[in-house]
Amino acid sequence: MVRATESGLPIEPVYGPGALEGWDPVAALGDPGEFPFTRGVYPNMYTGRPWTMRQYAGFGTAKESNERYHRLVEAGTGGLSVAFDLPTQMGYDSDDPKASGEVGKVGVAIDSVDDMRTLFDGIPLADVSTSMTINAPAALLLLLYQLVGEDQGVDPADLTGTIQNDVLKEYIARGTYIYPPKASLRLISDIFAYCHKEIPRWNTISISGYHMAEAGATPAQEVAFTLANAKEYVRAALDAGLAVDDFAPRLSFFFVARTTLLEEVAKFRAARRIWARIMRDEFKARNPKSLMLRFHTQTAGVQLTAQQPEVNLVRVTVQALAAVLGGTQSLHTNSYDEAIALPTEKAARLALRTQQVIAHETDLTATVDPFAGSYAVESMTEELEGEARRLIGVVDDLGGAVAAIEAGYQKREIESAAYDVIRGVEDGSRTVVGVNRYARPDDEIYEPLQVDPTIEAQQVERLAVLRSERDGDAVARHLDALRDAAGRESGGTNLLYPMHDALRARATIGEVSNALREVWGVYVPSDAY
């Protein structure tokens, strides 16, 4: 019986030279740091320094999350990564009725610049790179970060980090969208232009396949739909009058790392190669940095199990190896208890230690691209690239990513792949250790992290104080200016400037988001009617 990859491509029991007959290693590989970047985006990769160890964290109040960040920095993390609660992700204040029961639960609650100051209290933003997993309200959180940096005396040109800012995948797989696609793309283009001028070292978008993979996408689908979304963002920026080499070097990507190590390595290699050729051949980019697919990786949360959670330590290690062997630029390793609840501090520290062992106790950082020339990996890379290109072609034929989203194409394909996985677990053809094989009836009871149930009341009280202290007339004027700018055609006022003024006057995230809702409306998917 021939096994298949997660993408449904056959895995041969033995690979040899025949598998790569007609293969041109010069065209397919090149040197590390050179087109088509199959072997990595930098010539030295980890031989100079390891990837950035960026641990994703955030829960409860800004004060609690700040304390966790300080401990992560002390433990050796190289970059912060902020998880926001659901109301923040959806552009609602903590005192909005829609936020009830969700404040501080899956991330930190941020309502205003006051919360952002608390979140980064004592953390020098000139020296720390910060990633923020935020999409529809990404501009607001970026501007709040800039305001905190200004409080610290940091020139915005010195701020470094990433906002996810990838709303197209929200329509496909995750659901934290607010505005219709056209308005969302305008906002994203404005972020590109604003950062090029004001915060030039900031990564303006992290185009994400991770969430589609967590929803069930195969590796080939993950690459194809991510790069198809990326093409849509590039087109939107070009349509807004931006020059490709002015914004493309700051594009970044975000992928999952599964336990199927060989296919994951092949996936990362194929993704770099496809993107380099798309940018060079389709969009005529000339800056080599515009052709580089730089990406962050997170180990696969969907593969963690609540049963025998300590086994997740093994899974995460294998997944981290796949990311490192695939050439990631930064990595978050999941905590072993995340299938149960938010990670405890001990579990988060162990997750970071996993990366540190790989970086400092193995020999993987001694050489660039150790899998280059592997019959198996190179063959799998070629096959996965072919399947991903086929899927990108389907999206293109439908009119691009937005048209395909509106037709439900990506969502249907991902749901079908997810169903196949579930069916395999249920019928036993897919082994999940501790779940459908090697299960243990006497699993010990795990004590998860508990979020303080009074957080919501605390946030509501803070908002009341903020609204009583600030200049309400100034906030109203700035929100009116934002509504006016949003009502004009794209290409007029860059919306981040009136947003910046409103947030500096202590307008809340919900107030700014609601101002845009009033002008643009909200997106309702066709299958929700």
Three-state DSSP at 504 gives helix
Task: Return d(Cα 483, Cα 514) in angstroms, integer.
Answer: 10
User: Long-range contacts made by residues 113-117, C-beta under 8 angstroms, separation at least 24?
Assistant: 113/144, 113/147, 113/148, 113/503, 113/504, 113/506, 114/462, 114/466, 114/506, 115/62, 115/462, 116/62, 116/141, 116/144, 116/145, 116/147, 116/148, 117/148, 117/151
Residue 117, amino acid? R
Residue 76 inside a domain? The answer is: yes
For the chain, how many structural domains are there in total?
A: 2
| Residues 322 and 222 reside in one and the same domain | yes
Which residue ranges of the chain lie beneath pLDDT 70? 1, 442-450, 490-491, 527-529
Residue 165 inside a domain? The answer is: yes
Q: What is the pLDDT of residue 27?
A: 87
Residue 31 inside a domain? The answer is: no
DSSP calls for 344-365: PHHHHHHHHHHHHHHHHHSSTT
Task: Return d(Cα 105, Cα 94) in angstroms, integer.
Answer: 12
Report the run of H or E that residue 436 belongs to, with start and end. Answer: none
Say how many C-beta atoms besides its own lie within 10 A of residue 240's C-beta.
18
| Residues 95 and 173 reside in one and the same domain | yes
Residue 438 inside a domain? The answer is: no
Residue 356 inside a domain? The answer is: no
> pLDDT of 310-361, one tens digit each?
999 999 999 999 999 999 999 999 999 999 888 888 999 999 999 999 999 9
- 507: CATH: 3.20.20.240
Task: Return d(Cα 289, Cα 286) in angstroms, integer.
Answer: 8
Tokens describing residue 264: 């994951």
| Residues 208 and 115 reside in one and the same domain | no
| Residues 91 and 138 reside in one and the same domain | yes
Residue 269 inside a domain? The answer is: yes
Rounded (10°) angle between helices 138-151 and 181-198: 20
Three-state DSSP at 98 gives helix
| Residues 187 and 289 reside in one and the same domain | no
| Residues 326 and 401 reside in one and the same domain | yes
Q: What is the pLDDT of residue 529?
A: 37
Residue 26 inside a domain? The answer is: no
| Residues 326 and 226 reside in one and the same domain | yes
Q: What is the pLDDT of residue 446?
A: 64
- Which ranges in 152-180 belong to alpha helices (H)? 168-169
Task: Return d(Cα 497, Cα 16) in angstroms, integer.
Answer: 58
> pLDDT of 281-299, one tens digit each?
999 999 999 999 999 999 9
| Residues 411 and 493 reside in one and the same domain | no
Task: Return d(Cα 367, Cα 379) in angstroms, integer.
Answer: 22
Residues sharing a CB contact under 8 Å with residue 229, sequence separation 6 or more, in sequence order: 166, 168, 169, 207, 401
Q: Which domain holds residue 463?
A: 58-198+454-529
Length of the chain, in residues: 529
Task: Return d(Cα 35, Cα 464) in angstroms, integer.
Answer: 55
| Residues 289 and 423 reside in one and the same domain | yes
Task: Return d(Cα 302, Cα 321) in angstroms, integer.
Answer: 17
Say how many C-beta atoms besides its own lie within 10 A of residue 98's C-beta.
13
| Residues 62 and 139 reside in one and the same domain | yes
Alpha-carbon distances of 207 from 133, 222, 398, rounded to whole Å = 11, 11, 20
Per the CB < 8 A criterion, the answer to whether 77 and 93 are in contact is: no
| Residues 423 and 470 reside in one and the same domain | no
| Residues 160 and 123 reside in one and the same domain | yes
DSSP calls for 222-239: HHHHHHHHHHHHHHHHHH
Alpha-carbon distances of 416 from 229, 412, 420, 423, rounded to whole Å = 20, 6, 6, 11
Residue 472 inside a domain? The answer is: yes
